[in-house]
Amino acid sequence: MAVSESTAKPSPLPREVRESIQSAYSKLIEQYGFTPRMGQRRMIADIANCLAAVQQQDGDQSDEPNYEPPICVVEAGTGTGKTLAYVLAVLPLAKQLGRKVVLATATVALQEQVILKDLPDILAGSDLQFSYTMAKGRGRYLCLSRLDSVLQDNASLDALFDLYGDQPQAADPGDRSLYQTMLEAIASGSWQGDRDEWQEPVSDSAWRQITVDNSQCMGNRCSYFKQCCFFQAREKLDQVDCIVTNHDLVLADLALGGGVILPDPSDTLYIFDEAHHLPIKSNNHFAAFTRIRGSIQWLQQADRALGQLGGENQLVNALGSEADLQAIRELLSECGAGLQEALLILERLTESLDSLDSYGNSRQHTFALGVVPAALRECAEVLEVRYSRLYQHFYELREAFKELVEDGTDLQVRLLAEQWYPLAGSLAGRADSSLKLWSSFAHADPESSAPCARWLTVTEYNEDSDISLASSPVLAADNLTERLWSRCSGAVLTSATLSALGNFDVLKMRAGLPPQTRYLSIPSPFNFAANAVLRIPRMHCEPSDTRRHTELIVGALPRLLENDLASLLLFSSRRQMQDVLQDLDPEWLERVLCQDDYQKATLLQMHRERVDSGQQSVICGLASFAEGIDLPGKYCTHVLIAKIPFAVPNDPIEATLSQWIESRGDNPFITLAVPEAAFRLVQACGRLLRNESDSGKITLFDERLVTRFYGKAILESLPPYRREIFQQQLGD
């Protein structure tokens, strides 16, 4: 398959940049002896020529109302060598233009590969000169102020943990010893406070006590600022040419306004590898969530914390009018009353619903087109006002603590203010989170854009239960357009799979890519027809007949996998995966490794060890194993797929998006479901051939790929595998 779309005419690439790219590419070929690939060279040229439009702008582009940042989308099939291509295309141009490069991946594995292997190899094997570092979020670094509080057992820390209903873990001798060792390592310079570089894994509960988020950090007003692990790492970002990070950190920075953690978007050329994840991650960043009973408990805990703060007479006196703690506590009570009313409305609502979708111990209801009942909306309007005032109070309290730290003349007051600042920041952050949820439920969506998905979930906890509310954009288009596409200097989006059914329409819709975006699809250099066969057995059964479909898979697996050393069996449904494993012969089941039983890294290592020792090994997994799993050569010679991977129909976000598409007169099945399923199937099949020398077979237990009109369209979108259609009979 080859897709090429372009709505933007490429600009002339500066001669010195072109020569730098050509020289670096030639030297890398000579140094490492790899074979030049036409697709890789085309990818380099297209990206460089597209981004050359950046150099035509003078001054601050963000101030130019007519500036349209060049954006290049490149689908580069497996084996193209895309990392080398985008680094050679972007880095020389960025240096020429004085721009920073932010290279963001979706997975830790690729991030580590880029920082530990790809960039060092390019530097060592070429004449390019550039510097790079990895950027991580604040939560990956130890906070010295929090560490000091833990080791001193400060009262403010007790209050903070009481706020979350936990006990201060600092009382645990093991953790206290760990924290003391960490302090000594920082003091000696042998450790820079990075969780990932500590000598052994640190539990989440232990780490949570010694780190902070943005709302709890005092920045340059903190007495530990000059030694701060996070800000020392942040300073390095200003000194390098290329920053390697992840999608989540880029989105977190954009949500804060941009330029807070990473360089300003207007000074940045972004590279998004695994770019198909970007719209989903963007939706997650701008989603909102609250548990009703959990929030009522939090309000009570916050009230107790303020009561404890009121006992700090010296600090309260210094705060003056900012410390109207009684007014805040009254507002906490008002918010609690509003939540009680919301709880009654939601309980009546759940009782009136004919049915709720069930997931384990949870039941869920999605509001059609995101429209909530009038009674709930009116209650949300009241809570929006109250939480807005509550957030403002906590924000002002936090700022008052900050001023006392900076300007206070009394040392004791300054120390107390610094200790209580993180608590005020936590309170403000939690209030702001609730405010976003209630604001979403209080307001109707603009008719000109896609609605937000809104849903409720009833969750059982032993003999208790809670009702939660959630809201999420269904498209990332508006947020990405406002915060990224309209503000960046330029951007590259790439992945092995970005198109579906021969076009980029779904990506355009989800990500809101602007009209000037340039699109290119580069096919994989693999010989699919010679190296792989796609088998669709005759089953006389469709996946909708779940029981029969499962029986046929169970009966076929021992025969289909008899001669395969290493296989990957992929399911769209956890229930079906569990049913298949339950019905398999216990002796045959011994060769199966199920994703529910092991961490992914552990499972993959066990699989490789089994294969290396000559034992048969079958990995059983869900969607997370249908992409990003790299098992080259002998480690995977057979991929089996239970059915066409259509999205779960009752997912609140996808359900709301489908309803919106239908309300506009389009068919959501054809417009959204089929292209998305084709996209996922291409990814799943892509687990088989990872190198040009790999070979094997793919078995798909779904006749719809042949018998339905949409199945045939999906089949034609797959790579040109050799096909064996209905040559095998199941259930004979």
Which residue is associated with the tokens 């077979």?
697
At which of 450, 473, 496 does a domain end?
473
- What pLDDT does residue 156 have? 52
Type of residue numbered 145? S
Buried b (16+ CB within 10 A) or exposed e, 479-508: bbeebbbebbbbbbbbbbbbbbbeebebbb
* CATH code: domain of residue 696: 3.40.50.300
How many structural domains comprise the chain?
A: 3
- Residues 313 and 432 occupy one common structural domain: yes
Domain assignment of residue 389, yes or no: yes
- Residues 578 and 658 occupy one common structural domain: yes
Structure tokens at 374: 């009038």
Q: pLDDT tens digits for 226-237?
A: 889 998 888 889
- Residues 693 and 551 occupy one common structural domain: yes
Instruction: With beta carbons less than 8 A apart as the criterion, state whether 611 and 634 touch.
Output: yes
- What pLDDT does residue 56 have? 55
Which one-letter DSSP state was computed for residue 267? G
- Determine whether 687 is exposed, middle or buried from the number of CB atoms within 10 Å of its CB (0-12, 13-18, 19+): buried
Residue-number span of the structural domain to which 164 is assigned: 144-227
- Residues 211 and 294 occupy one common structural domain: no
Q: How many CA atoms lie within 13 A of 100 on its CB side?
A: 22
Buried b (16+ CB within 10 A) or exposed e, 448-462: eebbbbbbbbbbeee
Domain assignment of residue 24, yes or no: no
- Residues 545 and 405 occupy one common structural domain: no
Instruction: With beta carbons less than 8 A apart as the criterion, state whether 722 and 532 touch.
Output: yes
What DSSP letter does each residue of 459-524 carry, written as one string? EEETTEEEEEEEEEES-SHHHHIIIIITTSSEEEEEES---BTTB-HHHHHHHT--TT-EEEEE--
Structure tokens at 491: 């951007």
Domain assignment of residue 457, yes or no: yes
Give the 3-state secondary structure of residue 646.
coil
- Residues 300 and 195 occupy one common structural domain: no
Q: Which residues pair with 668 in a beta bridge?
A: none
- Residues 337 and 443 occupy one common structural domain: yes
Domain assignment of residue 218, yes or no: yes
- What pLDDT does residue 161 have? 53
- Residues 212 and 296 occupy one common structural domain: no
CA 30, 35, 38 angle in degrees (round to 5)? 120
- Residues 565 and 666 occupy one common structural domain: yes
At which of 177, 202, 227 does a domain end?
227
Which one-letter DSSP state was computed for residue 444? P
Domain assignment of residue 492, yes or no: no
C-alpha dihedral (183, 184, 188, 194), degrees to nearest 10 = -40
- Residues 534 and 627 occupy one common structural domain: yes
- Residues 442 and 302 occupy one common structural domain: yes
- Residues 698 and 584 occupy one common structural domain: yes
Q: Which residues pair with 467 in a beta bridge?
A: 458
- What pLDDT does residue 701 have? 97
Domain assignment of residue 382, yes or no: yes
Domain assignment of residue 589, yes or no: yes
Structure tokens at 148: 């000091």
Low-confidence spans in the chain with pLDDT less than 70: 1-11, 55-65, 153-174, 321-323, 359-360, 408, 732
Instruction: With beta carbons less than 8 A apart as the criterion, state whether 685 and 705 touch.
Output: no
Q: Which residues pair with 700 in a beta bridge?
A: 641
pTM confidence score: 0.90
Structure tokens at 10: 């490429």
Q: pLDDT tens digits for 433-486?
A: 999 999 999 999 998 889 999 999 998 877 788 999 999 999 999 999 999 999
Domain assignment of residue 485, yes or no: no
